[in-house]
Structure 1
Amino acid sequence: MIRLLIADDHPIVRDGLSGMFAAEPEFEVVGQAGDGAEAIRLAEALRPDVILMDLQMPGMNGLDAISALAERGVRSRVLVLTTYDTDGYVVPAIEAGATGYLLKDAPRDELLRAVRSAAEGRPVLSPSVADTLMNHVRAPRAPELLLSPRELEVLQLVASGNTNREAARHLFISEATVKTHLLNVYAKLDVSDRAAAVAEAYNRGLLKPS
C-alpha cells in the first residue's frame, strides 16, 4: 500500500486526484493540503510515502515546502505535479529535493506509474521536463540564472541589512527555510558567510546597487 498526501490549492484538483487513486487498491490517500505549510504539518503527522506537490500555492509555496520537508528530515518522497515546465521552476524543485516532476496534463497511467516509482525512490520526469533539464545543463548560464528567484530574493533582503528572521517575515516563510536558501547561495557562489555572499553577488552582477 502506497500512502499519499495531495497538496494543491484547488479543491477540485485534490478531490479529482483523491478519487483517481482511491479507485486503485494499491494506493491510500491519507490527507489533503491546500498550501505548503499545511502540507508540512500533515507530512510530519502522517508520514506518507509520497507527497504530490503543486508549486504555486498561496502562503508557503510548494518549492519552499519541499525545502522545509528536507530540513525537517521528513523522508516522504515529493513528486511535483504542476503546470509549469520552465527551468525557473524545474531546476529549483529538483535542487530542493523533489524525487520527480510531472505536469498536470500527464495521462492517468503515467501518473500512477510515476507515484509507484517515486515511492521506490526512483526519479521521475515527464518528457518535456527532461528536455528542460537537458537544455538547462547544455546552455550557457546567464549570471542572474545562477541563483533561483527565491534565493535572489533572500540574498537581496540580506544585502539590505535584514536578519534571517526579518527576511522570513518579508517572504512569509520560516527562518529555517531562509537559512537553507542561504546555504544554497553559499555553495553556488563558493563562499562561507553572508558578507562574502553579498560581495560576490555584486561582483557577478547578481545584485545591483540601489
Structure 2
Amino acid sequence: MNAPTPTAPETTALRVMIVDDHAVVRRGIRAYLEVLDDVQVAAEAPDGQEAVDRLQEMSVRGELPDAVLIDLLMPRMDGVAATAHITRNHPGVKVVVLTSFGEMERVHAALANGASGYLLKDAEPHEVVAALRAAARGDVFLHPSVARRLTQEIVSPPTGLSTLTNRERDVLALVAQGCSNQEIADELVISERTARTHVSNVLRKLQLTSRTQAALVAVHEGLVPQQR
C-alpha cells in the first residue's frame, strides 16, 4: 500500500480591514488586494468609530483581522484616535496608516499610538502590500518620504512656528485676537476641550507660559496685524 502523497501546508491569508471615509478609495484598495492570493479583505469601515465598533464585534466572534489599513482624517473618530484604541484593545492587530497628509505632527501621533506603518496615498499598490506584510511580521514600514522627513527632524529638529500644525497656527492667531477657548471652539467648529488641548500644545511647543506671550509671538510672526 502506497503512502499518501504529502500536501503542502495551506498558507493562511493576511486578513485586512480597510478604514477610509471615501468609498471610492476603499473600493480601489479592495479591488487590488482581492486579486492577491495571500490577502483577504475582512471588513471595511467609513470612519474610526465604526472601525473600533466592528473590531469589537469581530473580537467577540474570534474573527479579528491581522491588520487595519486606516486613513487619518475622518469624521466622528480620526485615524490617530482609532489607532490608539485599536493597539490598546486589540494588541494583536497591526495598524498601517494610509493618508494624503504628510504633516509630521500626524506621523508622530500615529506612530506614538502604535501604528506599524505610515504610507502616503500616492504610494504604489505594491508598497501598500509590503507595508501590510511588514506589519504582520512585527516590523515597521515607512513611506520613503516620511522616513526622510523623520531623519531630517532628528538631524535638525524644527523650532518656532515650524513645529505647529496648520490647525495650531489657526489657534495661535485666535489666541492673539483675545479669543477664549470657547470662542476658538466656536470659530473652528471643534469642542471646547479640543480647543483647550490645542492651546496647551501651542504653548508647550513654543516653550511659552501664558496666552499673552503666545499673542506676542503671533504678532511678531505676522499671524495677526499689529495694533496701532
TM-score (norm 2): 0.64
Which of 17, 26, 31 is 1:14 aligned to?
A: 26
State the match for 1:138 in structure 2.
155
* Cα-to-partner distance string for 1:61-101 (whole Å, 9 max, x where unaligned): 9xx8244446xx512565332445xxxx3311112224332
Percent identity (aligned): 32
* Cα-to-partner distance string for 1:22-67 (whole Å, 9 max, x where unaligned): 444544342232xxxxx13213312374242155x7xx59xx8244
Q: Secondary structure in 2 aligned to 1:105?
A: coil
State the match for 1:36 in structure 2.
none
> Closer, same or farther in 2 for the Cα pair 1:96/1:201, shift >3 Å?
farther
Cα distance in 2 for partners of 1:13, 1:42 equals: 17
Which of 11, 18, 28 is 1:5 aligned to?
A: 18
> Closer, same or farther in 2 for the Cα pair 1:106/1:13, shift >3 Å?
same
The reply to whether residue 75 of structure 1 matches residue 75 of structure 2 is no
Q: Secondary structure in 2 aligned to 1:190?
A: coil
Q: How does 1:172-191 map to 2 (within 5 A)?
A: 172-191=189-208
The reply to whether residue 199 of structure 1 matches residue 207 of structure 2 is no
> Closer, same or farther in 2 for the Cα pair 1:65/1:5, shift >3 Å?
same
Cα distance in 1 for partners of 2:51, 2:42 equals: 12
> Closer, same or farther in 2 for the Cα pair 1:27/1:138, shift >3 Å?
same
Q: How many residues align?
A: 190
> Closer, same or farther in 2 for the Cα pair 1:94/1:105, shift >3 Å?
closer
> Closer, same or farther in 2 for the Cα pair 1:142/1:188, shift >3 Å?
closer
Unaligned regions of 5+ residues in structure 1, if any? 34-38
Q: Secondary structure in 2 aligned to 1:18?
A: helix
> Closer, same or farther in 2 for the Cα pair 1:111/1:140, shift >3 Å?
closer
Kept after mapping to 2: 8 A contact 1:164/1:179: yes
Bigger Cα displacement from structure 2, 75-84 vs 180-189: 75-84
* Cα-to-partner distance string for 1:104-157 (whole Å, 9 max, x where unaligned): 333323211212334566432111221233234434746321211111112322
The two structures, once aligned, show a CA RMSD in angstroms of 3.5
Higher RCO structure (Cα 8 Å, ≥6 apart): 1
Cα distance in 1 for partners of 2:50, 2:183 equals: 26
> Closer, same or farther in 2 for the Cα pair 1:138/1:161, shift >3 Å?
same
The reply to whether residue 92 of structure 1 matches residue 100 of structure 2 is no
> Residue type of the partner of 1:46?
R
The reply to whether residue 162 of structure 1 matches residue 175 of structure 2 is no
State the match for 1:52 in structure 2.
70
Q: Secondary structure in 2 aligned to 1:5?
A: strand
Kept after mapping to 1: 8 A contact 2:72/2:80: no
Unaligned regions of 5+ residues in structure 2, if any? 1-13, 56-64, 88-93
